[in-house]
């Protein structure tokens, strides 16, 4: 039962940064998922996969794991790289590839 502590990345459907500053603690699966033979549902008897806890800081999540004796692994957050781009750059004369329809 190893817990994973990480800060979730922004999805492609989000334009803002709301709820991205929180840290998440969730558990890695102890058993593989199995297919139920009659209906074909995928299921697992591992209930810890359903637990997901949110913390304001990484230190709070680590303190929780230590206090409860849960082995954990911290994944460092990757910072987003923002490239500056302007609409006028599409029409430059010195573009690498020509802009045509």
Domains of the chain by start residue, with CATH:
1-7+21-77 (3.30.160.190)
Q: Where are the alpha helices (DSSP H) in the chain?
A: 58-67
Q: What 8-state DSSP symbol labels residue 89?
A: G
What b/e sequence results for 17-30 when a residue is b if at least 16 CB atoms lie within 10 Å of its CB, and e otherwise?
eeeeeebbbebeee
For CA atoms 70, 49, 32, 74, the dihedral sign is negative
* Confidence at residue 43, expressed as pLDDT on a 0 to 100 scale: 82
Of the pLDDT bands very low, low, confident and very high (cuts 50, 70, 90), residue 28 is: confident
* Full-model pTM: 0.69
| Listed ranges 18-22, 29-33, 72-76, 79-83; the one with the highest mean pLDDT | 72-76
Sign of the Cα torsion 47, 25, 30, 12 reads positive
């Amino acid at each position: 039962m190893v817990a994973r502590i990480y800060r979730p990345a922004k999805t492609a459907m989000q334009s803002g940064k709301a709820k991205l500053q929180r840290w998440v603690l969730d558990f890695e699966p102890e058993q593989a998922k199995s297919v139920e033979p009659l209906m074909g549902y995928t299921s697992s008897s591992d209930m810890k996969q359903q637990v997901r806890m949110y913390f304001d800081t990484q230190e709070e999540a680590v303190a929780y794991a230590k206090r409860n004796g849960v082995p954990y692994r911290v994944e460092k957050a990757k910072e987003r790289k923002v490239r500056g781009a302007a609409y006028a750059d599409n029409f430059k004369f010195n573009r690498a590839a020509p802009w045509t329809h």
